Structure 1
């Protein structure tokens, strides 16, 4: 096992990697995540040798009985040898995983990083250091490839991710083991790493050794590919940004994608996936979204947070909202702020002609509180101003040539189960101002993006 690459020692490579990627400086205070294994022990020793200011954080997940306690004791003693601050916490990981309905691995990761960030805030640490190394990166890229995460997944872990720094990504596991042996450093072995129960262990212990029998240089080749993919990803992101500016048109909280323009875009499926990933859609849903392009208006696909709706010539991406909780009770005149905008109700003696959709003038003598402000529903009807007969709102919207997206934004003002105003469009003829009207209820509406006129 060789510690050196060329003429540089691991210590020199370590400091060079930190400087090249601008990870941190000696003026920063660092929190090193330490399990007690080879990687994290070497990371601590390298930090100490380089003269960095750091403390150690250890998580006892209580998943391996006495082995978990043994690891905690080892890391505590290791921090004493290094004469650095030590932080430790014990988690009931299984209980947390059950409560949150997570896998044990995901639960442990969430608990770990949430705690690390808390320590940084309370103790004044600038960055969190993890001991991920080149072999970890190779395994990550292979798992991403088989999961189908796209080109970004092939770039692997990055040296910088938010507050996290990964200063060992340049080093292979064998180099770390050689360093450990040379400096006669002790470590603890997590027995679970030797088993293939977890996906990463399967790739580490089975897949890569099997590939290496045919391609002995597989590790280095994959590391070289990761480096190339990172550069490809830079160009890829630049082009995607350019295309997205042409395809995405924002209207309030919604994004519109012209169907015809999208269909003429080179590598259309790849571009579409990148556009919708931001809104919680998965690669497995891509074909369904593509089918929307040629579907009838009204078809849609859902993610956990958004919906993609086919509306005539567009795909419309909009956030999901719980309209069942959106009803507002109005007890008296005044200003009402709601998710569909702002209403201002005031009673006046002045009577003027009906000014249009954004302002409603109603005969105050015919109005009885409370009023109900709610999204319209299928089956709703009213008597549009100027008409004697009633009309269903759905038919009224067709006459108004409203898109499906616009229909979903419509609210109605209701009194005793009678719609007195389709907000922003038309009042009910039964409540209009006439020659006999003595007092007027004036209601002004402004959309969420505009301030109310008061």
Structure 2
């Protein structure tokens, strides 16, 4: 296996030569074999071990084993203990997901702080097959069946071409020692159930099943590449990008075949799960929304607008004195001898009508003002609707107030009551400097 592994490294991961490599080592069979293989090929390596405190003395034993392995091989080792259950509870997550977040966040810190170039993990071909079936059970799209990536930014998986049987054979032939994780024998988790009960029966159907599985994944990857090329063309045709949003042109996407499939491919990376609700937005009324944990998809007339979610509406008030303010937005306030042309980001106001300190806050339900050039008052909600300002844009709008009167809907319209007239003695120029 060493010869095959060396060839695999030289063919697919030649860039690792001369780099500082960190190996995620649990102490189990796979990571121990990966460690010995990389050491035998004379790469500069170090080990990183996570003690998740989930199996008591067994977890501590794993940690001591990895430290001992590093000492025997005379390589650096990093070990960290985590209170995984506490972290999971605080972040309202499963123990498995909490351990994953803790693990990869800590690995990233080591890479940065100690200047390691890449992280190597010991995922192998059987892991890939298990992941395929897990994604199958979850109703994944094509991308979910193309396999665990061999390379993902700083994460490298050089054992993906090798089966667990090959790895075990290498370990036994070289008299390697490793730790067995007792939790791997429990069928509480889907992956363990697949590994222990389902896949052994499946493998009995063909001795070359894993090799055929690899070929299937190669074919699926080719199809995925073709799809990505097509979606790049679709993206240019139907999507426009704003400063903080993506807008999908409904008319254009409906003119294309397989509209719902296109929507899935465009939005799949944003955490949406209720795809029927997403597709229903195409025919919904303006204002209808669908949410994922991180994003909102809003029907706004002839567009679907995708934005990140703003979880809290900032309701605080900020006092502004005559020198202006630089946070959370930048306003420049200065006396002016004359009045120029009013713009969206620039207004001139009658200074004697202002009562300092002014206030800065977000808009609230029930807010009214007298738009510049109009005689009567108007609710801000009605103004936003008339101006076709989307829900996401409304949440970012700041108001400048004098007392309880709105001076300026910043970036949109000033209030008629504060305009400069022939009787104005002192003029104030206020500029909104966008970040």
C-alpha change, 1:264 and 1:79, in structure 2 (3 Å) is same
Matched, 1:348 2:348: no
Give the corresponding residue for 2:169. Answer: 178
Give the corresponding residue for 1:257. Answer: 248
Give the corresponding residue for 2:3. Answer: 12
Give the corresponding residue for 1:370. Answer: 357
Offset at residue 386 of structure 1 (A): 4.4
C-alpha change, 1:417 and 1:230, in structure 2 (3 Å) is same
Give the corresponding residue for 1:295. Answer: 284
Give the corresponding residue for 2:48. Answer: 57
Matched-pair contact (CA < 8 Å) for 1:23–1:167: no
Matched, 1:361 2:352: no
C-alpha change, 1:211 and 1:399, in structure 2 (3 Å) is closer
* Structure 2 gaps, min length 5: none
C-alpha change, 1:80 and 1:326, in structure 2 (3 Å) is same
Give the corresponding residue for 1:67. Answer: 58
Instruction: Give the greater-gyration-radius structure (CA).
Output: 1
Number of paired residues?
A: 435
Offset at residue 98 of structure 1 (A): 2.6
Aligned runs of 1:249-398 on 2, under 5 Å? Answer: 249-278=240-269, 280-282=270-272, 284-321=273-310, 324-325=313-314, 327=316, 329-337=318-326, 342-350=330-338, 352=339, 355=342, 357-397=344-384
Matched, 1:22 2:3: no
C-alpha change, 1:357 and 1:238, in structure 2 (3 Å) is closer
Q: Deviations over 1:105-157 (max 9, x none)?
A: 22222222333333334444322222111111111111112212322221121
Matched-pair contact (CA < 8 Å) for 2:284–2:299: yes
Q: Name which of 164, 168, 171 aligns with 2:159.
A: 168
Q: Following the alignment from structure 1 to structure 2, what is the Cα–Cα distance between the partners of residues 18 and 104?
A: 34
Give the corresponding residue for 1:134. Answer: 125
C-alpha change, 1:203 and 1:347, in structure 2 (3 Å) is same
Q: Name which of 39, 56, 64 aligns with 1:48.
A: 39
C-alpha change, 1:386 and 1:172, in structure 2 (3 Å) is closer
Offset at residue 255 of structure 1 (A): 1.6
Offset at residue 288 of structure 1 (A): 0.9
Aligned runs of 1:98-247 on 2, under 5 Å? Answer: 98-214=89-205, 217-247=208-238
Q: Following the alignment from structure 2 to structure 1, what is the Cα–Cα distance between the partners of residues 108 and 390?
A: 46
Matched-pair contact (CA < 8 Å) for 1:410–1:423: yes
* Structure 1 gaps, min length 5: 1-9, 450-454
Q: Following the alignment from structure 2 to structure 1, what is the Cα–Cα distance between the partners of residues 343 and 80?
A: 64
Offset at residue 204 of structure 1 (A): 0.7
Matched-pair contact (CA < 8 Å) for 2:313–2:395: no
Q: Following the alignment from structure 2 to structure 1, what is the Cα–Cα distance between the partners of residues 369 and 164?
A: 73
Matched-pair contact (CA < 8 Å) for 1:59–1:112: yes
TM-score normalised to structure 1 length: 0.86
Q: Following the alignment from structure 1 to structure 2, what is the Cα–Cα distance between the partners of residues 401 and 74?
A: 64
TM-score normalised to structure 2 length: 0.89
Aligned runs of 1:422-441 on 2, under 5 Å? Answer: 422-441=409-428
Matched-pair contact (CA < 8 Å) for 2:322–2:357: no
